[in-house]
A = this chain, B = another copy of it.
């Protein structure tokens, strides 16, 4: 475990720190962005392009992979790294976020009197449902989540958690938090029983928008001594201020010697503040999802490349950037590709946005090393 994470420098100015997460598929220099590769592919990029960008780690979703192609075939292929050729440190989530979203939709449908037979059973054990893809019966419990994640084979796994909907009552949020804690102990036990030495478990702090619950959850989760800790449920509908508050409340409780991941958050304007609270890694769909909509990050702001003003603009895609895309292609060409719905447009935009994230984190690490953040 000590070998898993090393703090190389601690800022004198904040809780920000420079570190290294060491996995058998490589090292993540932290703070770091974790590119989203939900279904075992960082959308629109070959694994070689992901490497070329300098992306250090990617995030896959257990729910999606279990639904298709199934954890069994991924295990049989030698794990997700080999199956997808994403040969870098990978994280997987627990599936909790998605299966409880599914359950929530079920409850809403029940209230509306609609039939939605996908969710078969929700209990303190977990969720049982039918795959929307092929009708296969799928169950998510702490043990099942661990087992799926073991088969998928990502380097870092998340404990099964319930991510509460927003807004949740204090009563419900507390119940969900306690369930999450109970599940964490089950996940830890499962990990101890199985000998997946090369996979590292992160406990997940929940507690919704309540300060008392967030603190309680942080204390409990951190006390469990999992190799890493994640903060969950802070990006599901709250305002930016609420989101930052939820991280701020737990900042004092976060482990000094273990890495901290913030689940599903990583908008450019949040990152610096969140790093100051001690966050080491972030996964977020924004750079890649926005890219496919034509939103191109700029060192200064962002632009919508689909706008007609770019049709005849022969400047590089971002005048302040030197990535592959900005070296060889113009705004006009990228605009053309987007207007014509050419696949290459999504590829180039994704490349550039992820590159910009890497550069942002490089600068951030540099600033921390100089105690400027």
Q: B residues within 8 A CB of A45?
A: 344
Q: B residues within 8 A CB of A314?
A: 73, 76-77
Q: Mark A23-58, 1 if CB is under 8 A from B, else 0.
A: 000000000000000011101111101000000000
Q: B residues within 8 A CB of A47?
A: 328
A residues with CB within 8 A of B: 39-41, 43-47, 49, 64, 68-70, 73, 76-77, 83-85, 133, 311-312, 314, 328-330, 332-333, 335-337, 339-340, 342-344, 346-348
Give bound CA distance, A339 to B73, whole Å. Answer: 15
Question: A44 to nearest B CB, angstroms?
Answer: 4
Question: A82 to nearest B CB, angstroms?
Answer: 9
Q: B residues within 8 A CB of A69?
A: 311-312, 332-333, 335-336, 339
Give bound CA distance, A261 to B116, whole Å. Answer: 58
Contact (Cβ within 8 A) B68 A330: no
| Given A85-B328, A343-B343, residue A336 in contact with residue B39 (CB < 8 A) | yes
Give bound CA distance, A44 to B346, whole Å. Answer: 9
Other CB < 8 Å A-B pairs besides A43-B342, A69-B335, 4 of them? A41-B342, A44-B344, A69-B336, A77-B332
Question: A276 to nearest B CB, angstroms?
Answer: 36
Residue in A41, A70, A314 with the greatest tally of chain B CB atoms within 10 Å: A41
| Given A73-B311, A333-B77, A335-B69, residue A340 in contact with residue B85 (CB < 8 A) | no
The 6 closest A-B pairs by CB, nearest first: A44-B343, A69-B336, A41-B344, A85-B328, A39-B340, A41-B342
Contact (Cβ within 8 A) B346 A343: yes
Q: B residues within 8 A CB of A49?
A: 46
Q: Please give me the residue from chain B that is nearest to A308 by CB atom.
A: B134
Give bound CA distance, A267 to B335, whole Å. Answer: 33
Q: Please give me the residue from chain B that is nearest to A314 by CB atom.
A: B77
Q: Please give me the residue from chain B that is nearest to A340 by CB atom.
A: B39
Q: Please give me the residue from chain B that is nearest to A328 by CB atom.
A: B85
Question: A168 to nearest B CB, angstroms?
Answer: 31
Residue in A70, A77, A312, A333 with the greatest tally of chain B CB atoms within 10 Å: A333
Give bound CA distance, A70 to B47, whole Å. Answer: 34
Q: Please give me the residue from chain B that is nearest to A345 by CB atom.
A: B41
Q: B residues within 8 A CB of A343?
A: 41, 43-44, 343, 346-347
Give bound CA distance, A328 to B133, whole Å. Answer: 26
Q: B residues within 8 A CB of A39?
A: 336-337, 340, 342
A-B contacts, 21 listed (Cβ < 8 Å): A39-B336, A39-B337, A41-B342, A41-B343, A43-B344, A44-B343, A46-B49, A46-B348, A68-B336, A69-B311, A69-B335, A69-B336, A70-B311, A73-B312, A73-B314, A77-B314, A77-B332, A77-B333, A85-B328, A343-B347, A347-B347
Question: A40 to nearest B CB, angstroms?
Answer: 7
- Of B43, B83, B336, which is within 8 A of A40 by CB? B336
Q: B residues within 8 A CB of A342?
A: 39, 41, 43
Q: B residues within 8 A CB of A73?
A: 311-312, 314, 332
